[in-house]
Structure 1
Amino acid sequence: MGDTQFHMRIRQSSGHSNLLPEHITYNQKCPVYLQVDPGYFYGYVYFRQVKDKSLPRGYFQKSFVMISRLPFVRLLMEVCALIAPRYFEDGEASIEAATHEIDQWPSPMPGELLTLTLLGTVFQVHIPGQSNKSGAQVSPSSTSEHCISAKAYTSLTLNVLPSLCEVNIFKCFSPVISHIHLLWELVLTAEPIVVMATSPTMCSEMVQALISMITPLMYCADFRPYFTIHDSEFREYTTKSHAPPPVILGVTNPFFVKTLQHWPHIIRVCESPYFATSTKHKPKNGSNVKLVDSKPGVYTHYQPFLHKDKNILKKLLKGIQTKRPSEVQTALLRRHLLELTQSFMIPLERYMASLMPLQKNISPYKAAPVPQPFNPDEFLATLGTSGPQLTTGIKGDWMGLYRRFFRSTNFSGWYNARYHEVHQKLQALQLEALSFADMKLWVQGKQEVEVVDMILTIRRKLEQSEIENLPLSDSVRDQLQSRMADIICTLPDDLKTVLKTS
């Protein structure tokens, strides 16, 4: 086989899913689709198998595996590819040297450019911040004021990565490019999917490409880039006693062809570079097992809600004929998928914003209000005037697609994250209103217990705002400290002393 690279995702055993403080800080500042999931680890694998007649089995065979919570697939696969060959040749000494350098790396900070030195190579990569919600990647080379020139490291190799986790999606989807819109719907609605491939590299890259189709929306269901019969969830995912769970599995073992034939959606890929004209198969239960095992394509009964965008398909197919570089094809396809996802999400974001209470109704002396509940029927009624047709020319049953989306884990994950953001915003607005309130006027006629309770409440909210990283400016925090001082001045001396020292 030579050298092979792939990655996997491993569920952590229950009761041991606490994040490090650095991970919590990182999650608070990065886009949701790049957050660390406390329930999972990623494994980045470099496997070498070469002939060696001096060994009993006739082969040198060894794996190098890195485990991380960070979903930085592209970066960490590059790091793995740099360390593993040295380890195979020099043993543990190379790992000690790499570990020493990695220990000097800064913590991942969203919104910043990372410069990471390792074994004679300098990696540069930008981590998007929350402000970059479009999902568009910022190329490190575009941040010239921070970029290290090759001259600065004459003895080192400079490796500028365009993204943390993206794979070449055109290379992955080229065998099934005519079904790209169908696949986007399946991923959007978190349908159970099996990717069957002939190598761990192919299946892990395809699974990674699938979950990235809906960026910047986070794929909230489970996914296993490389799944084997030895995984602890094997029985859970292969049983026929209940419907398959919402998960994307990448497999290579032919055993899965029969074991998972009851799954509703199967993608079969192979080594050939292009099968752009491959058809969508509709196997009946218990039939066409040999077909799935041999012919690449998409096997499903699913009927898409939306029509295909023939323009992008023609452009990509023409690119195949003219041998357009794969990187350009990937950029075209990724932009199309990004715009499609944005067209789908903009009405939802707009409706979510309408659930916010008016700022004028936020009282400085009462608890922060809560958003109105999400009403699917009310949302669907808005599509006629503010639906996806305003931003995309793709036609179809958008309403039916939204209804299916509402039943998925992707919707619940998005809604919970947005509700948390809105809740934090309302907390911040209430504190901002309190910072501008005339507390000297408010305190008149109040009992001492009410005044003390207000002071303790402001203190508690300020402490909580630090813990939860509320979007609160330093000026508002300073004003709240001044408001507390205004109130304390109205109390008897003994209470003043107690409150100032507590």
Structure 2
Amino acid sequence: MGVVMQVRIPSKNDKPGGSPEKQAQKEVGVAFYSFLIHLQMLWELMLLGEPVVVMAPSPTVSSETVLALVSSIAPLRYCCDYRPYFTIHDTEFKEYTTRTQAPPNVILGVTNPFFIKTFQSWPHIIRLGELKMSGDLPKQVKVKKLAKLKTLDTKPGIYTAHKMFLQKDKSLIKRLLKGIQRKRPSEVQSAILRRHLLELTQSFIIPLERYLASLMPLQRSVTPWKTPPQIRPFSQEEFMGTLEHAGPQLTSVLKGDWVGLYRKFFRSPNFDGWYRLRHREMTQKLECLHLEVVCDADLLGWTKDKSEVEIVDLVLKLREKLMKAGKQQLPVKEGVLEKLEGYLQTVISSLPEDLQTVLHRY
């Protein structure tokens, strides 16, 4: 047998440049219809990057559900692996189905009944069936203990031992269920749900962003003749101390163990991915500020009472900074790099000819 490739054929409804995740966000409400009352739990599982298996009746349902789950924590980037439709032919099949090690941080969407037994040891399993109605409302799946997961039991349910950190938003659930009852368009339902999830994620992330901003050195501490100051390290305990006065309660009405949720989030790949990205952005911002400060400094005046060794050292450092800025495409103000390059040439021309020759060569 050859290689099995997973592809997605664009539909006529796709917008140019649209990603599968963005497409999933449009119909997120439909994908969640059968477990609306457990939205909070699913959001927490995604936020924490927990290993999840979605057992669905078809590849379409599998893919839509996995993509909807991944997009549920937007704008936070989901930094774990996810497979909307996982089969026994995937290269990671052996790795993901082994019982000798803990399941990886990944979401798998499957349809093959073979996986029912294979993934019994996974901590979170969402078993879906065809969408059934109970009167005017979709029948909601129940949360069940993992011990009750049986190979021959095909009843839908969420099999997990996860204890929720936050309380359910009952008003949202009622609103969505009432919308289904009144046959509200799925686009409107999805918009309501997306907005709720967006606000929930933002309430969680804003305190982190606020604390991270406090780790940034003050702009006045960036001087032209010194290496840019370092960003202060992230302290989990220091951050926890800010929650009492600047926590999620400022923007969210949900009660619960926010502190416990943050502590577990800190151990997840999603925190690691978020922090690395933000730290890189902050480092680049510092580099840009330093380049702008250097550009505004009197470089030629600084060199007048300096030795040739010090001037050459300055030239080499500035060259390195310019190369780094170009390579990393730093978002510096327009004209800064060109202006700095001009200053650099002026400084070089102030040196003896033999040094100029060497510096121009290298």
**Fold match (TM-score > 0.5):** yes
Asked whether 1:78 is paired with 2:20, we answer no
Moved more, 303-312 or 264-273: 264-273
Aligned to 1:478: 338
1:458 to 309, 313, 318: 318
Asked whether 1:202 is paired with 2:135, we answer no
Cα distance per residue 1:213-244 (max 9 Å; x no partner): 11111111111111112222122111222221
CA distance in 2, matches of 1:495, 1:242: 61
2:196 to 314, 329, 336: 336
2:7 to 33, 44, 63: 44
Aligned to 1:301: 161
The verdict on how the C-alpha distance between 1:271 and 1:167 changes in structure 2, with shifts beyond 3 A counting, is: farther
CA distance in 2, matches of 1:364, 1:371: 17
Q: Secondary structure at the match of 2:178?
A: helix
One-letter code aligned to 1:448 = E
CA distance in 2, matches of 1:482, 1:290: 73
Q: Which has the larger share of helix?
A: 2
Do the aligned residues in 1 keep the contact of 2:144 with 2:158 (CA within 8 Å)?
A: yes
Deviation at 1:501, TM superposition (A): 6.5
Asked whether 1:447 is paired with 2:307, we answer yes
Do the aligned residues in 2 keep the contact of 1:175 with 1:296 (CA within 8 Å)?
A: no
CA distance in 1, matches of 2:162, 2:21: 35
Q: Secondary structure at the match of 1:243?
A: coil
Deviation at 1:311, TM superposition (A): 1.5
Do the aligned residues in 2 keep the contact of 1:306 with 1:397 (CA within 8 Å)?
A: yes
Do the aligned residues in 2 keep the contact of 1:219 with 1:410 (CA within 8 Å)?
A: yes
Q: Which has the larger share of strand?
A: 1
CA distance in 2, matches of 1:403, 1:427: 31
Do the aligned residues in 1 keep the contact of 2:55 with 2:62 (CA within 8 Å)?
A: yes
After superposition, the CA RMSD in angstroms is 2.3
One-letter code aligned to 1:266 = I
One-letter code aligned to 2:217 = P
Aligned to 1:257: 116
Aligned to 1:372: 232
> Sequence identity of aligned pairs in percent?
51
Asked whether 1:288 is paired with 2:221, we answer no
CA distance in 1, matches of 2:159, 2:234: 35
The verdict on how the C-alpha distance between 1:232 and 1:496 changes in structure 2, with shifts beyond 3 A counting, is: closer
One-letter code aligned to 2:149 = N
CA distance in 1, matches of 2:312, 2:30: 65
Cα distance per residue 1:112-169 (max 9 Å; x no partner): xxxxxxxxxxx744679xxxxxxxxxxxxxxxxxxxxxxxxxxxxxxxx995663511
Q: Which runs of 5+ in 1 are unaligned?
A: 1-9, 11-41, 46-75, 82-122, 129-160
Q: Which runs of 5+ in 2 are unaligned?
A: none
Asked whether 1:278 is paired with 2:167, we answer no
Do the aligned residues in 1 keep the contact of 2:224 with 2:294 (CA within 8 Å)?
A: yes
Asked whether 1:418 is paired with 2:275, we answer no
Asked whether 1:350 is paired with 2:210, we answer yes
CA distance in 1, matches of 2:329, 2:340: 16
The verdict on how the C-alpha distance between 1:276 and 1:309 changes in structure 2, with shifts beyond 3 A counting, is: farther
CA distance in 2, matches of 1:468, 1:353: 22
CA distance in 2, matches of 1:494, 1:283: 77
Moved over 3 A (4+): 123-128, 161-167, 273-277, 493-502
Aligned to 1:429: 289
TM-score for the superposition, normalised by structure 2: 0.91
CA distance in 2, matches of 1:489, 1:297: 75
CA distance in 2, matches of 1:294, 1:329: 28
Aligned to 2:97: 238
Compare relative contact order (CA 8 Å, sep 6+) and give the higher one, 1 or 2: 2
CA distance in 2, matches of 1:445, 1:243: 64
Moved more, 178-187 or 239-248: 239-248
Do the aligned residues in 1 keep the contact of 2:117 with 2:151 (CA within 8 Å)?
A: no
Asked whether 1:219 is paired with 2:219, we answer no
Q: Secondary structure at the match of 2:64?
A: helix
Q: Secondary structure at the match of 1:382?
A: helix
Do the aligned residues in 2 keep the contact of 1:126 with 1:163 (CA within 8 Å)?
A: no
Q: How does 1:378-393 map to 2 (within 5 A)?
A: 378-393=238-253
Q: How does 1:133-148 map to 2 (within 5 A)?
A: none
One-letter code aligned to 2:333 = S
TM-score for the superposition, normalised by structure 1: 0.67
Moved more, 216-225 or 180-189: 216-225
2:33 to 167, 174, 178: 174
Deviation at 1:407, TM superposition (A): 0.6
Do the aligned residues in 2 keep the contact of 1:355 with 1:372 (CA within 8 Å)?
A: yes
One-letter code aligned to 1:465 = A
Deviation at 1:499, TM superposition (A): 4.2
Aligned to 1:183: 42
The verdict on how the C-alpha distance between 1:420 and 1:246 changes in structure 2, with shifts beyond 3 A counting, is: same
Do the aligned residues in 2 keep the contact of 1:343 with 1:391 (CA within 8 Å)?
A: yes
